[in-house]
Amino acid sequence: MLITPAYAQAAGSAGSGGSAAFMVQILPLLLIFVVFYFLIIRPQNKRMKDHRAKIEAVKKGDQVVTGGGLIGKVVKVEDSVVEVELGQGIKVRALKSTLTDIVDPTAKPAND
């Protein structure tokens, strides 16, 4: 009674946009996903792949850092286990997957 027939007709035709309105609504979500992929997911996968290759290439004599923060020299390498010498006569066995970094022995410490 308060709405005239002309207003009622205009409101009914506005919802019949169909697929064009759906694409306008979904486009920002797709754009956000693409941005997340290129800024977060892709670089992280590359970093993980590089780290995995570096850990698989560990060899006898390398200086490594374990996940617990221990620094030592690799004495023996097996398939998934390395033996690390932490000090004079102190050897531990560690899984390769727990190694976090291979340290360059020629690098100077930051505080020297």
22-48 pLDDT, tens digit per residue, is 888 999 999 999 999 999 999 999 999
Residue-wise pLDDT for 54-110, tens only, equals 999 999 999 999 999 999 999 999 999 999 999 999 999 999 999 999 988 777 766
What 3-state class would DSSP assign to 67?
coil
CA separation for the pair 87, 73 (Å, rounded): 9
Sheet with 71-77, side-by-side order of all strands: 90-95, 81-87, 71-77, 63-66, 99-103
Q: Residue 48 is which amino acid?
A: M
pTM listed for this prediction: 0.66
HSE value, Cβ hemisphere, 13 Å, CA-based, for 79: 0
**If you compute the radius of gyration of the chain from its CA atoms, what whole number of angstroms results?**
30
Distance CA 112, CA 65 (A): 20
